[in-house]
Amino acid sequence: MLQRADALLSRYGYCSRKEARQWLSEGRLRIPSGRITDPAVKINPADVTVDGAPVEYPEGLFVKVHKPVGYVCSHDPAEGPSVYDLLPPQWMRRNPHPTVIGRLDKDTTGLVLITDDHQLVHRLISPKNKIPKVYRVGLDRLPDAALIEIFAAGTLLLKGEKTPCLPAAITEVSDTVCRVTLHEGRYHQVKRMFAACGFQVTALHRLSIGAWQLGKLEEGRWEVVAFPEK
**Which range in 48-56, 75-83, 114-122, 188-196 contacts ligand URA by CB under 6 A?**
188-196
Position among 29, 50, 83, 104 found at the interface with ligand URA (CB under 6 A): 104
**Which range in 7-15, 101-109, 113-121, 140-148 contacts ligand URA by CB under 6 A?**
101-109
197 touches ligand URA (CB under 6 A): no
* Shortest distance in whole angstroms from residue 153 CB to ligand URA: 19
Task: Classify each residue of 155-178 as buried b or exposed e, where b means 16 or more C-beta atoms within 10 Å of its C-beta.
Answer: ebebeeeeeebeebbbeebeeebb
* Shortest distance in whole angstroms from residue 111 CB to ligand URA: 11
Q: What is the DSSP string of 59-93?
A: T--EEEEEEPTT-BS-S-GGG-SBGGGGS-HHHHT
Contacts 24+ apart (CB under 8 A), 78-81: 79/106, 80/106
The three-class DSSP label of residue 161 is: coil
Position among 188, 220, 224, 228 found at the interface with ligand URA (CB under 6 A): 188
* Shortest distance in whole angstroms from residue 187 CB to ligand URA: 8
Position among 108, 109, 115, 208 found at the interface with ligand URA (CB under 6 A): 108
Question: How big is the CA angle at 129 (ends 125 and 131), to the nearest 5 degrees?
Answer: 70
Distance between CA 28 and CA 35 in Å, rounded?
7
Identify which of residues 5 and 204 has a Cβ nearer to ligand URA in the complex: 204
Give the β-pairing of 99-101 and 169-174: unpaired
189 touches ligand URA (CB under 6 A): yes
191 touches ligand URA (CB under 6 A): yes
Identify which of residues 9 and 180 has a Cβ nearer to ligand URA in the complex: 180
Cα-Cα-Cα-Cα dihedral sign, residues 211, 214, 217, 220: positive
Q: Under a CB-based contact definition with an 8 Å cutoff, are residues 101 and 115 in contact?
A: yes
137 touches ligand URA (CB under 6 A): no
Binding site for ligand URA (CB under 6 A): 104-105, 108, 188-191, 204
